[in-house]
Structure formats: structure tokens, C-alpha cells
């Protein structure tokens, strides 16, 4: 175990040195603690227009079903400025899930991010060979203006924060040496309006620049926003004339894949890009 601790510390230190020195910086820094678990930083939307739901699963019984155990879960809610609003701890029975509605946790208005950490130490199980449990499962949204009772699902898409028990949360996002461009591989000219939601998984404020192009790849609109650490922004484009075909975003963040909302006549689509 001592060798494993030394190896872990060395790896975590090496990742951060590479990031700081700009020498082939990794996309993600391995957590400092062997016992840490990892969460995505999911966007939530509330207020009079939206509700957000997160279905928390007992992950240890999914991954290690032959030794099912109750699992302690730590749910942390941030506002869009990255300020922590609330923290909840609860236990989940084996093979169970719990539905968390954000409207049950927050005031009526607002938007922000959340993270969810499962207290499962994979290091106790050698077959996971240095792995950390990650929560990047399924969040769903409902537009309250719609008559539909349906929730629209999207899964998490990155590793954002690590935490060991009640200790401080750490960003594990790597730091690129320059701005990185990301291009969602889809078209936007089929919807009336669309939004790109950027969560900032790093520990510092970032600027995101979104460029919108027509079908001939001519730049027709550009928007810039500042995203606080652990916070989020929603960048919206009207597209009733179908003029915007594709978009790209640029920022000091590896693989800054926004969650996309595309709005149609009666419903919306949410997907990770």
C-alpha cells in the first residue's frame, strides 16, 4: 500500500508540474488522494422556465454487485458564479437510485452547477488497479412552459472535481498551454433557437468565445462570456431564419464540450456535444 501511495503522489505531482510548466499538459490531473472519488460538474436550470433532475445510482452495487453495500453520497450545489449553495449527504441502499429534483433544493430562480461524490474506495479492491469511481451519469431537464411531463436526459461528459470524504474539493481539469477550439459535430439550422451551456471545471475564471457560421462557413455571429470557476454560463442564439449552420467555441480548457439545448416548435433537445 505504501508503494501505491508513493506512486499516486508521484503521478499527481507529475501531472500538475506538466500543467504548470506547459510540457505536454495532461487533459486531467490524477487526484492527490488514492481515496478520492470524481464527479462531473453538471449544469442545472431552475426558475419559472426549467426544472432539473438528477437520478443518483448506488454505483458500488452496479460495479461490484457481488458485494453490495449501502453507499454514502455527497451532493454539492453551486450557483452560476460557482458559490456553493448547499451540500447534502445521504445513504443509498444497494441496487437503488434516488431522484434529486433541483427545485427541492434551491430558491425559485436561478441556474448553476452541481457535483456528486460517492464514498466508495476502489483502492480497497485491487482489481480496479488505481481507478477512481466517477459520477458522470444522467441529468434530465423539463421545460415548465411545456404541457409535456417528459424529462429529457443527457449524460455527463467529463471529469471535473475530486473529493475525499468531507475534505476540500479539487479541480482535476488540466491546463492547456493555449486556447483550444472545440467544434460540435452537428448542425443548428433545424431549430428556432439554441443555447450552449458551459460549466467551468477549472479552479480559475475562464473566457469562452463562441463563433457561429453559416452553411458556407462564413462567420456571422460571435459571443464572448466569462465563466467563474465552478460556475456556468448559457450562451443563446436565435436561429428562426436557420442562418446558423455550425458553431465552434474557444477557451483555455481541454475539450470544453458544452451541453446543448435546441428549441423547436413544441419541445427541446438536450445533448452533450
Partner 1 sequence: MNYYFLPRHPVFETAVTLANFSPVDAVGRERQHIYLAWTDGTRWIIEAMGDLGAGESRNFTSKNLPQTVPADRACFFFFFPKLLPATLNKLPTDPMMETAPAWRGNIQFRSPTTRTSYQGEYPSAMLKLKKQSLVSISPMIQGGDDIGMHFLLANLCETPEQHPRTLKFAAARDRKVVLEATVYTNAVSLVDISAIAPLRNELFCTVSSDITGVPLYLAFDVGGTQLSLEHTHPPTELFAFSRQPQVPVKRMKSWWLQQVKS
Minimum separation from the CB atom of position 31 to partner 1 (A): 8
**C-alpha cell of residue 64:** 461490484
Minimum separation from the CB atom of position 81 to partner 1 (A): 28
C-beta closer to partner 1: residue 83 or 93: 93
C-beta closer to partner 1: residue 181 or 207: 181
C-beta closer to partner 1: residue 235 or 270: 270
Minimum separation from the CB atom of position 146 to partner 1 (A): 6
C-beta closer to partner 1: residue 3 or 266: 266
Instruction: Please report, as ranges, the residues that interact with partner 1 according to CB under 8 A.
Output: 28, 30-31, 38, 55, 57-59, 61-66, 95-97, 99, 122, 125, 127-134, 136-138, 140, 143, 146-155, 159, 180-187, 190-191, 217, 245-246, 255, 257, 262, 264-269, 271-273
Cα separation, 246 vs 222, in Å, equals 12
b/e string for 172-181 if b means 16 or more Cβ within 10 A?
bbbbbeeeee
Minimum separation from the CB atom of position 144 to partner 1 (A): 12
Burial (CB < 10 A; 0-12, 13-18, 19+), residue 252, is middle
| Structural contact between residues 212 and 241, judged by C-beta atoms closer than 8 angstroms | no
Cα separation, 116 vs 69, in Å, equals 18
| Structural contact between residues 47 and 111, judged by C-beta atoms closer than 8 angstroms | yes
Minimum separation from the CB atom of position 239 to partner 1 (A): 13
Give one DSSP letter per residue of 177-198, joined into a string: SS-EEE--SS--TTSSEEEEEE
C-beta closer to partner 1: residue 80 or 114: 114
C-beta closer to partner 1: residue 17 or 81: 17
Cα separation, 207 vs 233, in Å, equals 10
Cα separation, 254 vs 92, in Å, equals 33
Minimum separation from the CB atom of position 270 to partner 1 (A): 8
C-beta closer to partner 1: residue 108 or 147: 147
Region at 65 (left for phi over 0; alpha for psi -120 to 50; beta for the rest): alpha
Answer positive or negative: Cα dihedral of 182, 186, 192, 196.
negative
Minimum separation from the CB atom of position 179 to partner 1 (A): 11
Three-state SS string across 70-96, please?
Answer: CEEEEEEEEECCCCEEEEEEEEECCCC
Amino acid at each position: 500500500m505504501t508503494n501505491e501511495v508513493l506512486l499516486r503522489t508521484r503521478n499527481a505531482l507529475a501531472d500538475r508540474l506538466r500543467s504548470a510548466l506547459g510540457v505536454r499538459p495532461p487533459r486531467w490531473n490524477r487526484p492527490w488522494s488514492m481515496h478520492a472519488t470524481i464527479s462531473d460538474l453538471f449544469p442545472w436550470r431552475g426558475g419559472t422556465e426549467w426544472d432539473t433532475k438528477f437520478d443518483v445510482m448506488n454505483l458500488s452495487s452496479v460495479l461490484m454487485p457481488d458485494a453490495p453495500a449501502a453507499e454514502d453520497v455527497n451532493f454539492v450545489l453551486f450557483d452560476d458564479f460557482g458559490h456553493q449553495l448547499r451540500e447534502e449527504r445521504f445513504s443509498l441502499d444497494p441496487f437503488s437510485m434516488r431522484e434529486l429534483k433541483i427545485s427541492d433544493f434551491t430558491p425559485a430562480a436561478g441556474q448553476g452547477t452541481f457535483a456528486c461524490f460517492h464514498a466508495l474506495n476502489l483502492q480497497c479492491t485491487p482489481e480496479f488497479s488505481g481507478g477512481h469511481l466517477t459520477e458522470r451519469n444522467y441529468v434530465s431537464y423539463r421545460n415548465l412552459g411545456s404541457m409535456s411531463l417528459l424529462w429529457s436526459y443527457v449524460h455527463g461528459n467529463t471529469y471535473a472535481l475530486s473529493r475525499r470524504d468531507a475534505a476540500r474539493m479539487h479541480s482535476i481539469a488540466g491546463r492547456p498551454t493555449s486556447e483550444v477550439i472545440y467544434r460540435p459535430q452537428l448542425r443548428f439550422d433545424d431549430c428556432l433557437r439554441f443555447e450552449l451551456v458551459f460549466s467551468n471545471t477549472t479552479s480559475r475564471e475562464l473566457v469562452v468565445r463562441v463563433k457561429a457560421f453559416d452553411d458556407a462557413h462564413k462567420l456571422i455571429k460571435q459571443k464572448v462570456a466569462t465563466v467563474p470557476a465552478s460556475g456556468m454560463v448559457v450562451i443563446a442564439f436565435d436561429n428562426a431564419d436557420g442562418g446558423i449552420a455550425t458553431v465552434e467555441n474557444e477557451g483555455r480548457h481541454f475539450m470544453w464540450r458544452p451541453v446543448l439545448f435546441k428549441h423547436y416548435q413544441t419541445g427541446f433537445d438536450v445533448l452533450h456535444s
